[in-house]
Chains A and B, each alone.
Chain A
Amino acid sequence: MSLSAGGYGQNMLPVAATITGIDRLTDKDCVFSIRLSKGGILRFRASQFVILSLFGIGEAPISISSSPLDSEKSFELCIRVVGNLTRAVHRLSVGDKVGIRGPYGNGFPMERIEGRDVVIVAGGLGLAPLRSLIRHVIHERDRYGRVIVLIGAKRPQDILFKEDILLWEANPSIEVHLTVDVAVPPWDKHVGVITKLFRYVDVDSLNAVAAVVGPPIMYRFVVSEILNKGLFEGNIYLSLERRMRCGIGKCGHCQINGIYLCQDGPVLSYMEARKLKEAL
């Protein structure tokens, strides 16, 4: 269900929602649990996003960090302080209200991932949308082959969702590898760029898919590693970032050549993305 089916006037109309929980992850990032008013349920796929409204300040696109299978009652948004709106969001408390519209975008094609080995590559804030995918996969773990998660961050203290990561590391059915650019004691895991973790990736390459989200600079290097592993271009999914303003393919800010990323993305296969000169 889209919250705002119908005309554009309605499409730009957020529904009211309440913050039911705030969990601090780092000095810049918090996870906000959000519940829609009037028993509304947000039905979404991993890597879809909502547009968050703070009335009087404006709107910002935020990817959903919880899994669609987590809970019907609420969903989670991981929000980093980067500008006016996100700074204002961080000043809110449990019980405060915000506006939500969406979900927007296509999300990861779960039906195409089923039955396959899955390589998930998260750089920095890229873990926010990928946590949704990872949790989704763990929820129905027997539907997938090997699951390998590679996570990179600048410093140990920048790593998001540390509690989740501890659980994933303790879970024998998935493999998790972490690296940071700059180690700070007592860090005892990998140091260096995320591509270094690919030596741990051992998958059935003809039958594997990859999901990649990270800073723009990361994609080219990571995709090249994945291609070296023998995966098909069409089986490498990238979720890209652009300035999603309206979410309905009109305002023009998220356009990459001929596509509107808010509608036709944010998930593109590498096969699609490499044909768009502005994509990577």
Chain B
Amino acid sequence: MDRTIKYDGVEGFIARLMDNYDVIAPVPREDRFVFDLLTEPSGAVMEYGTTLLPPVKWIYRNNEPLLKFDLEDIEKTKAVIDVRQQVLLFVHPCDINAINIMDEVLAEEPADENYLAIRRATVIIGYECLTPCREDTLCYDKGCHYADRGYDVIFTDIGSGFYVRVETGRGKEIVGGDPSFRKAVYDDRIALMLRRDEGGLRFGRAVAGEMGKLSHLLKENYDDDIWDVKGERCLSCGACNIVCPTCYCFDTVDEIGSDMREGCRYRRWDGCQLEGFCKVASGENFRDSAAARIRHRVFKKEVYLKKRFGRSGCVGCGRCIDSCMAGISIIDIFNHIMEKRHA
């Protein structure tokens, strides 16, 4: 059963959530927003542009411990998973869709148990977008400005307060027992429909052409000049990888404690755009040009993941465009490829 909540009831709800969970919410940081651990219920903001890093990075964390070992006795080595009960609060639909993709990719056998255990302990409270959060996104092209699953509950602003759609049993527990919510009635649902209809009109396409043909067109244009053109500008800094809500490549790193005996192996984010990503110990670099690396990133999202999982790995959040110091835009690349159909 869906619920509603008044604007002034939200802070109390967050305070009660904080009693039971680590609450990770969008908060202002300088002139931008980040997902961070809340210390005050009033710290969370509901209206925010895309955050610097996507919320999934609180599930697929950097420096995630994988193993603990003892150099004196390696028979004692054990796998570890650092699980905390956490809530990701006010997650935008693009980021919810990204988490859905990560769930699918990382559950494929052999599964990533660390991710899955932390994911299971993570409550997701969505916040529906009724207007684009900024320019240079392609969430609408990707159909990811809206999420139909992947959250426990999702808030939508209906003018008089928020409509709260309850999707899971866990979501029902969280809002069902909370005094700020009341049951949604017919008028609330009508208000929700109207709001959504209005909201839908505010979104527009960034890419000209039929997205369903993108994967095919990319394959046809594997050897196109666009990769060299973008490759010449690319700084191979890997920022696009780190901000991407569906990039999950990693490396491992061992650290030894100050006792020089006990240590931990961590997972550390890695990026396919970095120059040495495919370099083997003998010195051979199997993807040694920025052009080939950019192509790989685009193909991974639009061709390889699509073939394996039946859907694109890009949710159109636009973070890679925003973070690129060289001004490389995935929208430009897609538009260029889409034009190729007429060539």
A interface residues (Cβ-Cβ under 8 A, vs B): 6-14, 16, 37, 55-60, 82-83, 85-86, 97-99, 215-216, 241-243, 245-246, 248-253, 255-258, 277-278
Q: Which B294-311 residues have a C-beta within 8 angstroms of A?
A: 296, 299-300, 303-304, 307-308
- In the assembly, what is the distance between CA of A258 and CA of B303, in Å? 8
Chain B binding surface, main DSSP class: mixed
A12, A248, A250, A253: the one contacting B265 at CB < 8 Å is A12
B51 located at the interface, meaning its Cβ lies under 8 Å from any Cβ of chain A in the complex: no
Evaluate contact between B80 and A16: CB separation under 8 angstroms: no
Nearest chain B CB to A96's CB is how many angstroms away?
Answer: 10
Q: B254–A216 contact, CB under 8 A?
A: no
- The answer on a CB contact under 8 Å between A278 and B287 is yes
Whether B280 contacts A251 by the Cβ 8 Å rule is no
Further contacts, 16 of them, CB under 8 A, given A55-B265, A246-B252? A8-B110, A8-B113, A8-B116, A16-B75, A55-B69, A55-B263, A60-B281, A243-B277, A243-B280, A245-B250, A250-B248, A251-B249, A251-B270, A255-B304, A257-B299, A277-B222
B170 at interface, CB cutoff 8 A: no
Residues of A within 8 A of B113 (CB): 6-11
Q: Establish whether residues A251 and B251, one from each chain, have CB atoms under 8 Å apart when the complex forms.
A: yes
Is the C-beta of B278 less than 8 angstroms from some C-beta in chain A?
A: yes
A215 contacts across to B, CB distance below 8 A = 284
Tell me if A13 and B281 are in contact (CB < 8 A). Answer: no
Minimum C-beta distance from A236 to chain B (A): 20
Enumerate 15 A-B pairs (CB-CB under 8 Å) in ascending A order.
A7-B111, A7-B113, A8-B111, A8-B113, A14-B77, A16-B75, A55-B77, A56-B69, A59-B252, A241-B280, A245-B250, A248-B110, A249-B110, A251-B251, A258-B303
> Which of A8, A10, A83, A99: most chain B Cβ within 10 A?
A8
Interface size class of B (residues with CB under 8 A): 35 or more
Known: A8-B115, A253-B270. A13 touches B67 (CB 8 A): yes
Contact yes or no, B112 A8, CB < 8 A: yes
Please indicate the chain B residues that have their CB under 8 angstroms from the CB of A245 in the complex.
250-252
Q: Is the C-beta of B336 less than 8 angstroms from some C-beta in chain A?
A: no
Q: Are B254 and A56 interface neighbours, CB within 8 A?
A: yes
Q: Is the CB of B265 within 8 A of A246?
A: no
B75 close to A257 (CB less than 8 A): no
Assess whether B106 is interfacial by the CB under 8 Å rule.
yes
In the bound complex, residues from chain A placing their C-beta under 8 Å from that of B270 are: 251-253
- A residues in contact with B307, CB < 8 Å: 258
B193 in the interface, Cβ–Cβ < 8 Å?
A: no
Closest B residue to A254 using CB positions: B278
Q: Which of A55, A248, A250, A278 makes the CB contact (< 8 A) with B74?
A: A55
A278 CA / B270 CA spacing, docked (Å): 20
Chain A's closest residue to B111 (CB) is A8
Residue pair A16, B74 in contact (C-beta under 8 Å) = yes
B78 at the interface (CB under 8 A from A): yes
Tell me whether B38 is interfacial, beta carbon within 8 Å: no
**Which residues in A have their C-beta under 8 angstroms from that of B292?**
278
Max chain B Cβ within 10 angstroms of own Cβ: one of A14, A37, A255: A255
Residues of A contacting B74 in the complex (Cβ-Cβ under 8 angstroms): 16, 55, 97-99
Measured CB to CB, the nearest residue on chain A to B292 is A278
Pairwise interchain contact A258-B250, C-beta atoms closer than 8 A? no
Q: How far is the CA of A10 from the CA of B222 in the complex (A)?
A: 38
A103 CB to nearest B CB, Å: 13
Whether B286 lies near A242 (C-beta < 8 A) is yes
Q: Which of A11, A37, A241: most chain B Cβ within 10 A? A: A11
Encode contact with A along B95-131: 1 for CB under 8 Å, 0 otherwise: 0000000000010101111111100000000000000
Which residues of B44-75 are within 8 A (CB) of A?
Answer: 66-67, 69, 71, 74-75
Give the Cβ gap from B312 to chain A, nearest Cβ, in Å.
Answer: 14
A-B CB proximity, top 3 nearest: A7-B113, A252-B249, A9-B79
Bound state CA distance, A60 and B251, in angstroms? Answer: 12
| Smallest CB separation, A104 vs chain B (Å) | 10
Inside 8 A of B299's CB, which chain A residues have their CB? Answer: 257-258
* A83 to B222 Cα, complex, angstroms: 34
Tell me the minimal C-beta distance from B244 to chain A in angstroms. Answer: 12
| A72 CB → nearest B CB, Å | 21
**CB closest residue in chain B, given A125:** B282
Instruction: Give the Cβ gap from A177 to chain B, nearest Cβ, in Å.
Output: 25
- State the Cβ distance, B257 to closest chain A Cβ, in Å: 10
Residue pair A56, B256 in contact (C-beta under 8 Å): yes
Q: Verify if B190 is at the interface (C-beta below 8 Å from A).
A: no
Q: Select A55's contact among B112, B116, B254, B278, beta carbons within 8 Å.
A: B254
Is A56 a contact of B67 with CB atoms below 8 Å?
no
> CA A266 – CA B114 in complex, angstroms?
26
Q: Is B147 an interface residue (CB 8 A)?
A: no
Task: Find out whether the CB atom of A12 lies under 8 angstroms from the CB atom of B79.
Answer: yes
State whether A99 touches B77 (Cβ < 8 A).
yes
Q: How far is the CB of B121 from chain A (nearest CB, A)?
A: 14
Q: How far is the CA of A140 from the CA of B254 in the complex (A)?
A: 42
Q: Verify B250–A250 contact, CB threshold 8 A.
A: yes
In the bound complex, CA of A108 to CA of B310 (Å): 30
Using known A-B contacts A55-B77, A83-B281, A246-B250, determine if residue A257 contacts B304 with beta carbons closer than 8 Å.
yes
A139: min CB distance to chain B, Å: 30
With A9-B66, A10-B113, A278-B287 already in contact, the answer to whether A242 and B77 are too (CB < 8 A) is no
| B281 and A86 form a contact (CB under 8 A) | yes
**Residues on B with beta carbons closer than 8 Å to the beta carbon of A249:** 108, 110
Closest residue of B by beta carbon distance from A82: B281
